[in-house]
Structure 1
Amino acid sequence: MTAGRPTLYREEYCERVLAMASKGMSVAEWAADLGVARSTLYEWADSHSEFLTALRAGKDLEQAAWERMARENLDNKNFNANLWIKSAQARFRDDYTERQHIEQNTNFSGLPAPQFGAVTFQIVDPAKLEINQLEQLAGILESQSSEKEPLTIDHRPMSPVSEEEDK
């Protein structure tokens, strides 16, 4: 049994979505204008192929409106380009977000390898690590090294430079 009241889809919503999208309005604004939740828009898209087509075309129209806004304001000193790019990165992730795609397929079963969302890199200052953390790091680095010699990490705290030594 589904919760909530049923929503009534109307074919005219396709044109309304396209009109709003061409003004650069977001999916949240489309839903608010139609008086439904965003999830309802996606449910309608699953049930009505013409609405799915309108949503897809709407996202393209929305992006075109935003890109037009940027192009038309290139010479406008009051145009907030930083705000625009942050908004574009949030709204149009596929085209405005820098990513590094790493693909590795070690699955020899014939099935597609599982896909992972993102790779996160963290910079570590060895001077701030505990001895056991340094030993773990050394173990990781040794396992990645092609050299035969064991890796040595010198863990001496750096002494502050005096003003006389700095001169």
Structure 2
Amino acid sequence: MAGGRPSTYDPEFCELVINLGREGASKAEMAHACGVARMTLDNWANEHPEFLDAVTEAVQLSQGWWESEGRKATFGKTPGFNATAFIFNMKNRFPADWRDKKEMDVNISHEDALEELE
């Protein structure tokens, strides 16, 4: 028998997170709207495939919203736009697409390195 409180997960949260993604919300905001901690949101995504799909879509929608707003602002449609703050936000919010450098793991053995020298 599993311990702890019963889950408060509700399949209707799928629609909620997708709608929040359309508004540019973060996963922390999505968790807040569901009345749970961010870790619970991630646990639900691991336990409920439909919720994982919804969160994945929501994060994509959120990135699209932010990129669209930034594009508009770049061309003067948002008064007081701070490009530096926008770039900082995007690099931290969406690192897979916005980081300046990509990290890579490379493994090479001593034997491989010696063969290259010969």
Q: Same fold (TM over 0.5)?
A: yes
Greater RCO (CA < 8 Å, at least 6 residues apart)? 2
5+ residue gaps, structure 2, are 111-118
Q: TM-score, normalised by structure 2?
A: 0.81
Q: TM-score, normalised by structure 1?
A: 0.58
Number of residue-to-residue matches in the alignment: 107
TM alignment of 1:39-54, pairs within 5 A = 39-54=39-54
Partners of 1:107 and 1:35 lie apart in 2 by 50
TM alignment of 1:76-155, pairs within 5 A = 76=76, 78-106=80-108
- 1:74 and 2:71 aligned: no
Residue 34 of structure 1 aligns with an amino acid whose one-letter code is: C
Bigger proportion of residues as helix: 2
Q: Which has the larger radius of gyration?
A: 1
Ranges of 4+ aligned residues in structure 1 off by more than 6 Å: none
Partners of 2:104 and 2:35 lie apart in 1 by 41
Residue 15 of structure 1 aligns with an amino acid whose one-letter code is: E
| Farther-moved stretch of structure 1 (97-106 vs 12-21) | 97-106
Partners of 2:87 and 2:8 lie apart in 1 by 36
